[in-house]
Amino acid sequence: MTADVVADLERRGYLDDAAFARQWVTSRTARGYGPARLRAELRARGVASGLIGQLEEARRLARRRLPALQRAAPLKAAARLRDHLLRRGFPGGVVAQVVRESLSGLQDW
């Protein structure tokens, strides 16, 4: 019975670990929390480690890619970073989170 209710809530979009993780990381990053603490908090809240790993991997790839994008205008660089991550198979929500986080660094150019 409980599994049916959970499955129904997931189908309707009321239970979404990825959306929760994105929101959690955004709010905690703004407070200055580091990656290790964020991972631990997400694990403690039951977010799948695979999803946590996707965020970390996408961030790692974004950090490697950003120096090559410094010559482009910030919006163009953000679009190129988005496309780069999407081509590597990251889910759209993860890509949006990482690009949004990276935009703050792009605006300083």
User: What is the residue range of 68's domain?
Assistant: 2-106
Q: What is the mean pLDDT of residues 81-105?
A: 87
What pLDDT score was predicted for residue 36? Answer: 79
Confidence of residue 62 (pLDDT cuts 50, 70, 90): very high
Distance CA 89, CA 18 (A): 15
Region 56-77: mean pLDDT is 89
**d(C-alpha 46, C-alpha 86), whole Å:** 26
Mean pLDDT for all residues in the chain: 82
The percent of residues above 70 in pLDDT, for the chain, comes to 94
Give the single-character DSSP code of 91. -
Greater confidence, 22 or 54? 54
Number of separate domains in the chain: 1
Q: What's the token pair of residue 103?
A: 């935009």
